[in-house]
Amino acid sequence: MITRPLDLASKLRPEPRNFDWLFFVNAGLLVLFFSLFGSRFVLAPGLPLSFRLPAVAGAAVQARPPTHVIGVISDQVIVTGDGLRKIEELEGWLGKQAARTKSPLLLVWAGEDLTMSLLADVVNAANAAGFEVILAAGEPPARQKP
Q: What topology does CATH give the domain 68-135? A: Nucleotidyltransferase; domain 5 (3.30.420)
pLDDT (average), residues 53-77: 77
User: What letter represents residue 123's amino acid?
Assistant: V
Q: How many CB atoms lie within 10 A of CB 93?
A: 19
> Under 8 Å CB-to-CB from 14, ≥6 apart: which residues?
none
Domain boundaries, the chain: 68-135
Q: What is the rounded end-to-end Cα distance, in angstroms, of the chain?
A: 79
pLDDT (average), residues 33-37: 78
pLDDT (average), residues 122-130: 91
Question: Which region among 52-56, 73-77, 131-135 has the lowest average model confidence (pLDDT)?
Answer: 52-56
Residues in the chain: 146
- Residue 128 pLDDT class (50, 70, 90 cuts): very high
The confidence score (pLDDT) of residue 44 equals 53
pTM of this structure: 0.59
- Average pLDDT of the chain is 79
